[in-house]
Amino acid sequence: MAYQNKPLAPSAQQGYSLIELLMAMAIFGFLVSTLFTGFIATREGKPQQEQRRQAAAVYQETIEALRVIREQGWDQIAQNGTFHPQTTATSWTLAPGSEVINPDSGMTRSIMIADVFRDALGNITLLGGTLDPSTKAITITVSWNQPLVSTYSNTIYMTRYLDNLAFIDTTVADFSRAGHVATSVVFTENDGGEITLDAAGPGRGNWCEPGSAAVSQLDLPRQGAARAITAIQGKIFSTTGENASGVSLAYVTVTDAYPPVTTLAGTFDGYKTNDVFGTDQHGFLATDTNAREVAIVNLNNMTLAGYYDIPGPNSALSIYVLDGVGYVIAGSTLYRFSADPIVGSASQAGMGSIGLGANGSSVYVVDGVAYVSLAATSNQLRLVDVSNPSSMTMLGSLTVNGGQARDVYISPEGHRAYLVTAGDASRNEFFIINTENKNSLSVIASYDTNGMDPKAVDLVLSGNRAVIVGVGGEEYQVVTISPETNPTRCGGFNEDSGIWDIATVVEDDTDAYAYINTGQANSELKVIEGGPGGSYSMTGQYESAAFDTGSNTAYNRLSFTGNVPDGTTLRLQVAGAPLGPSSCEDASYSFVGPGGAIDEYFTGELSAIPFDNQAGGHNNPARCFKYKAFFDTTDILLTPMLEDITINYSP
């Protein structure tokens, strides 16, 4: 079928005419709008561009004015708020509020000054942080209303000078600069330079230089071999009861004079004794006597005060008493018994038992956990939860690459065990064990006693020195265990008759001693002196040498790092001062804390140094600066340590 062109119907012609009309109107409107906008742009483009050029010039002038004002002094820049620059006869100053630059265009200028905060690394932060009093955030805003409403704004950071500087003390050379004052503190090089409390006492003796001469010794009664010893301040409990030729307990008193005087205060007999534990009023003996494996001795009259009958025929091998409860090993079982009250000769009440899997050799109890060394070549250390009076439960155990375990000592907080095993030419005998996780123990490090067969171990310096004693080789060995990953010998001596047990004591007057049982027939008990490092002064101070910047300086922030064990504190104060009569060293300083008061202290966090201008007191800004560190301990075996300090300042 062919298609033909035909004329449109009248209705169709009308429809197309309406559409064409609407399209024509739309095009006309667009053209008019475009032409009008172009006309406006042509008319206002150059004025708007001129306003932008003027705003840029005003902004640049504002920055230059701020630099001039800053270099005249920090006081004006230091204040927060809204300001504008204003000329004086010779320079610039800041006036409150914003200003109108051009009334015709409505151009205004303002300077908003705000504080700046920094994080622990010194970076500027918008959240939290420490105030930096020598840096300000300055927002410069230039705005105008004609011909179009517009604003130009930007934030700059301005410091008291071109940059913040710092001086750092971190080495012995830094801390010991001429002019410092040290009171009962010393500089050490254990970790690149640090300050610690000094050794207490008059400085007699040294743990690492014990020599071979005892400062006191005592011939215990009869001819028995001394095999066990324990001590508390003023009292020593020793036994020569391994065989029938010795006494079951030798109770010895010790004076706190120098040298100490040891006196046999009494003896108790009738039992073959394997171990001993002592308190102020009683001696507890681990014996071979059936039905009285634990004998409790009244020290006032050296008579039997009580006993504990361990079930079965096994002899008691090791004993420990804590908080009125006794813990005793017999064979492969740990028993618990009541040690308070002790009434006459009545048997003490048993409080449960738990199997150990092998014969035990030593028990030590800390915070509800019994640490037991086993005379076995596997699982030489076992931990037992003894906190529940009705039931003891097994915790973790550990096999070390050593022989049968002989003795164990536990750190005061229970986080470390120090274990010795039988001598072996092919393996180490001393082990430092991480016991923080009671169910997952691990060896931190080990040490070869080099031919000595260890019998016992004790700790001094709360983890900084271990003393190992034994038979053969060098029988008395002092081991430095700081860092604990690398124990090394620091001293010792030979005692050819052998040393069978050891107890260490640091007296209230800070004298430190090791009491040892030897095989010498006429001097079974010997007192070996410890010394510097064996205990620390209770308090000490360090005042730095003066820091002289050469001109008035703003001291901004302080931060320091150190090691602060539980029971110790490390605090700092600062002081700024004008130049003294001849130098910063003879300036007058008043030390303050972060709030500017003399009874406040910095405690390690990044802190702002207070700005102040006290007559005769702390000054900041100032030319001269010092800091003072305060060291305190409630445990003479522990010391806080200042490792480094950073002072941020702005000239």
**Edge to edge, what strands does the sheet with 216-218 contain?**
216-218, 525-529, 512-518, 499-506
Dist. CA 610–CA 597, nearest whole Å? 9
- pLDDT at position 407: 98
- CA 59/CA 56 separation, integer angstroms: 5
Query: Does residue 346 contact residue 389 with C-beta atoms inside 8 Å?
Result: no
Confidence (pLDDT) at 162: 57
Give the DSSP H or E segment for 211.
none
| Cβ 407 vs Cβ 373: under 8 Å | yes
**DSSP-assigned states of every residue in 157-194:** EEESSSS-EEEEE-SHHHHT-TT-EEESEEEE-TTSSE
User: Amino acid identity of 28?
Assistant: F
Q: Which two tokens stand for residue 368?
A: 């509800």
> According to the model, what pLDDT value does residue 616 have?
55
* Residue 602: DSSP 8-state: B
Q: Are 226 and 525 in contact (CB under 8 A)?
A: yes
- Going along the chain from its start, the domains and CATH numbers come out as 41-159 (no CATH), 165-198+538-650 (2.60.120.260), 216-529 (2.130.10.10)
What is the token pair recorded at 70? 């800053």
In Å, what is the CA distance from 243 to each residue of 248, 273, 472? 9, 8, 22
pLDDT along the chain (651 residues), means of 10: 41 46 49 43 68 90 90 83 92 94 92 89 82 88 91 89 79 93 87 82 69 87 85 94 79 91 94 95 94 95 94 94 95 94 82 95 97 96 92 96 96 94 94 96 97 95 80 95 89 94 85 91 91 71 95 88 92 94 93 91 85 74 95 86 92 75
Q: What is the DSSP string of 371-383?
A: EEEESSSSS-EEE
pLDDT confidence of residue 511: 78
Cis amide linkage into residue 389, ω under 30° from 0: no
Q: What is the pLDDT of residue 9?
A: 42
Give me 296's structure tokens: 């409790």
The pLDDT of residue 42 is 47
Distance from C-alpha of 447 to C-alpha of 178, rounded to nearest angstrom: 41
Look up the pTM and report it.
0.58
